[in-house]
Amino acid sequence: MKKQKKIAFSYIKTKKKIIIRWIIKTRSYCHHHQNLNYNLRQNYNKSSLQYLVLKPYREELKATIKSRGIKPKLVGFLANEDPAAVKYAESTSKTCEETGVTFELRKCDKEQLEDQIVEANEDDSIHGIMIYYPVFGDRQDQYLQNVVSASKDVEGLCHKYIYNMYHNKRYLDEKQTKKCIIPCTPLAIVKVLEYIGVYNSVLPYGDRLHGRVITIINRSEIVGRPLAALLANDGGKVYSVDINNIQEFHRGTGLKLKKHEVRDTNLKIEEILPFSDVVVTGVPTPSYKVPTDLLRDGVVAINFSAFKNFNDNIKEKASIYVPAVGKVTIAMLERNLLRLYDYHNYQS
Amino acid sequence: MKKQKKIAFSYIKTKKKIIIRWIIKTRSYCHHHQNLNYNLRQNYNKSSLQYLVLKPYREELKATIKSRGIKPKLVGFLANEDPAAVKYAESTSKTCEETGVTFELRKCDKEQLEDQIVEANEDDSIHGIMIYYPVFGDRQDQYLQNVVSASKDVEGLCHKYIYNMYHNKRYLDEKQTKKCIIPCTPLAIVKVLEYIGVYNSVLPYGDRLHGRVITIINRSEIVGRPLAALLANDGGKVYSVDINNIQEFHRGTGLKLKKHEVRDTNLKIEEILPFSDVVVTGVPTPSYKVPTDLLRDGVVAINFSAFKNFNDNIKEKASIYVPAVGKVTIAMLERNLLRLYDYHNYQS
């Protein structure tokens, strides 16, 4: 804890050299992607970090699909005219085409959606099903998440997967051959955090966020709360912020606790932001902005809202700023699709 | 439709004799409870209709439990201090004591609730589990509904039961030996409607609400929408009202359609209330009142909100007014408990 504070102060003092310092600090952790540091230094201002994270996944997916000669098929249901959903659907379509996944977008009336999902559940030619939310924009959407068969749920939003994730159950089977499906957007953010070295790979698996303080402004059942649970299950100390209060998700020290614990706090956002190593936001309004002056220098700032939750001056304050994760989310969607494709064929 | 209108007009003309007229009209339908008409006439002003509906169920439960010498056990989790929930818990406790069900109220912190449910799921001495909502008051509550094992879900709120209900699947097994568990409050309202003769028992089973127009002001996933689906599946024309719009749930004529269909309408509440035979309300605010003058004379008015959604003058306008269904809900809870008890013993 003391060490951590020192690092924090050193950030403040060396404001202009934050990125370099961060990279030096995290160099040894990035064994998966040896060229990260080079890329970060060379391209951080030129191309979005999102693409850097995305690239290896996309290439791996493409190579796998090509070499195995398979044709996994994903069906996306669009039952709204929400511009963000439409854009996400277009983006999914484009990415799938690039990687070799057959993608079919089915537009329908929201009242017909449930029947169409049931039909797709029973159609053997379809390996994955996703829905562009919001559909009804209320609890009925959560009902629909469970209408999608678990065996085709590429978004990882049905109760079975959410339950396993909250309970830190990492495998679907006793023999630990089938990894659980994890919701795409939280998973995408985890991958970004791994990529940029927030996960410390010298620590034991399952505790690699030990010592990290992460604030997540959003506690939705689709992203915010799952993400808080995932990061706490990996050893981080997570503050989950919503309009009602701030909760702390933590796992305690060591690997003794099987899953994260949650407790309500009376903390205010101005009390936690200055101590947060990472701030993740997903506030779905154009007006909300994180107060930059409250953030620590060198913070890692990630936004998954369709609106910009950070002011432009975040670029000066943050060591790493990721304005969107949508494309990584789609890569995770395809990754989950491949898993389900294999689980299906493995079972039969 | 023409006939229906005539009856409606005759209500208006004979305002002072509505109750008697209604009873004459429904006399032949009430074959389950031969003493209904007598009770309604004698006691409607003395005791609540709720008790009349409740009595035969409670007596049957009590007799069954006693004669079979069984000890079904229900555990209720209370993780809030909501006065309505506390009252409901007290009421459950009292009713269970009367009927011979072992009831244990477990109070806990909301953050401990999930672990406690998981523990109760695995405890063979417990036959039914219920949760007093709201806990978190958001989508996390819907997650908790699915944490309760389907084999102990007396409230019928897990996805499996809700899905079957929406899809009009009435049995859990192919051999049709196990009836599905139906959510308690919607089921309680169905039982009230059956009891007072809104269901027409001379029509074929599954279409006994044919010709009835029912407005439900509430479209929650716990009561309003399930109830709309149940009544539409039974042949009624249901208007489901929430703050956004009015939807029509219908089943069409005959038994051809397997389940209800839903469509959005542009109707306003003042356009549907004058034509509704039954108005069911569940608006959780003390300020909301149904405008009595818009209701047809002789309407059946049912309120399941903890607050009174009807003004006092409803008693003059309605043929039958049921201000609360909580006690019937508890009877349904016990009824579901007995079913699950039997399914469990039948299976093992």
Q: Is residue B6 part of a domain?
A: no
User: What's the pLDDT score for residue B344?
Assistant: 86
Distance in Å, alpha carbon of B7 to nearest chain A alpha carbon: 33
Q: Chain B: residue nearest A147 by CA?
A: B163
pLDDT digits (tens, 9 = 90+) for B63-84: 999 999 999 999 999 999 988 8
B170 and B204 assigned to the same domain: no
At which of A124, A150, A176 does a domain end? A150
User: What's the pLDDT score for residue A103?
Assistant: 97
What is the band of B205 on the pLDDT scale with cuts at 50, 70, 90? confident
Q: Is residue B5 part of a domain?
A: no
Q: Is residue A177 part of a domain?
A: no
pLDDT score of B227 more than 70: yes
pLDDT digits (tens, 9 = 90+) for A217-264: 999 988 999 999 999 999 999 999 999 999 999 986 555 567 888 999
A139 touches chain B (CB under 8 A): yes
User: What's the pLDDT score for residue A285?
Assistant: 93
Residues of chain A neighbouring B263 (CB-CB closer than 8 A): 111
pLDDT score of A23 more than 90: no
A150 touches chain B (CB under 8 A): no
Across the interface, of B143, B261, B263, the residue whose CB is closest to A162 is B143
A30 and A57 assigned to the same domain: no
At which of A102, A133, A150 does a domain end? A150
Greater model confidence, B238 or B26: B238
Quote the number of domains for chain A: 2
pLDDT digits (tens, 9 = 90+) for B175-188: 999 999 999 999 99
What average pLDDT does range A55-69 have in this prediction?
A: 92
DSSP B195-234: HTT-S-TTSPTT-TTTT-EEEEE---TTTHHHHHHHHHHT
Domain range holding B340? 56-182+330-347
B139 touches chain A (CB under 8 A): yes
A21 and A97 assigned to the same domain: no
A90 and A22 assigned to the same domain: no
B231 and B312 assigned to the same domain: yes
Q: Is residue A85 part of a domain?
A: yes
Give the integer Cα–Cα distance in Å for A224 and A229: 9
pLDDT-wise least confident of A175-189, B126-140, B164-178, B243-257 = B243-257
For A241, phi and psi rounded to 5 degrees?
-110, 125
pLDDT-wise least confident of A37-46, A259-268, B209-218, B333-342 = A37-46
Show the tokens assigned to B271. Answer: 């356009």
What average pLDDT does range A70-80 have in this prediction?
A: 96
A39 and A62 assigned to the same domain: no
Distance in Å, alpha carbon of B325 to nearest chain A alpha carbon: 24
B87 touches chain A (CB under 8 A): no
Distance in Å, alpha carbon of B29 to nearest chain A alpha carbon: 34
Chains A, B: CB contacts within 8 A come to: 42
CATH number at residue B221: 3.40.50.720
Strands B300-303 and B278-281: parallel
pLDDT digits (tens, 9 = 90+) for A116-131: 999 999 999 999 999 9
Distance in Å, alpha carbon of B140 to nearest chain A alpha carbon: 7
**Burial environment of residue A284 by CB neighbours within 10 A (0 to 12, 13 to 18, 19 or more):** middle
What average pLDDT does range A27-45 have in this prediction?
A: 40
pLDDT score of B6 more than 70: no
Q: Is residue A275 part of a domain?
A: yes
A224 and A94 assigned to the same domain: no
Does the beta-carbon distance from B111 to A263 stay under 8 Å? Answer: yes
Q: Is residue A173 part of a domain?
A: no
User: What's the pLDDT score for residue A266?
Assistant: 95
B167 and B234 assigned to the same domain: no
pLDDT-wise least confident of A128-137, A232-241, B27-36, B285-294 = B27-36
B229 and B192 assigned to the same domain: yes
User: What's the pLDDT score for residue B47?
Assistant: 52
Q: Is residue B3 part of a domain?
A: no
Does the beta-carbon distance from B221 to A139 stay under 8 Å? Answer: yes
Residues of chain B neighbouring A162 (CB-CB closer than 8 A): 143
A144: Cβ contacts below 8 Å, ≥ 6 apart: A113, A114, A117, A131, A135, A136
Residues of chain B neighbouring A143 (CB-CB closer than 8 A): 142, 159, 162, 221
Give the integer Cα–Cα distance in Å for A207 and A232: 9
Spatial strand order of the sheet with B320-322 comes to: B261-265, B246-250, B237-241, B213-217, B278-281, B300-303, B320-322
Residues of chain A neighbouring B220 (CB-CB closer than 8 A): 139
Does the beta-carbon distance from B163 to A142 stay under 8 Å? Answer: no
Predicted-complex ipTM score: 0.71
Mapped onto helix, strand or coil, the DSSP state of residue B308 is coil
B165 and B198 assigned to the same domain: no
DSSP A45-101: TTS-HHHHHHHHHHHHHHHHHHHHT---EEEEEE----HHHHHHHHHHHHHHHHHT-
Residues of chain A neighbouring B225 (CB-CB closer than 8 A): 140
Across the interface, of A221, A261, A264, the residue whose CB is closest to B139 is A221
What average pLDDT does range A22-40 have in this prediction?
A: 37
Q: Is residue B289 part of a domain?
A: yes
A30 and A53 assigned to the same domain: no
B15-25 exposure pattern, b = at least 16 Cβ within 10 A, e = fewer = eeebbebbbee
Greater model confidence, A82 or A29: A82
B81 and B151 assigned to the same domain: yes
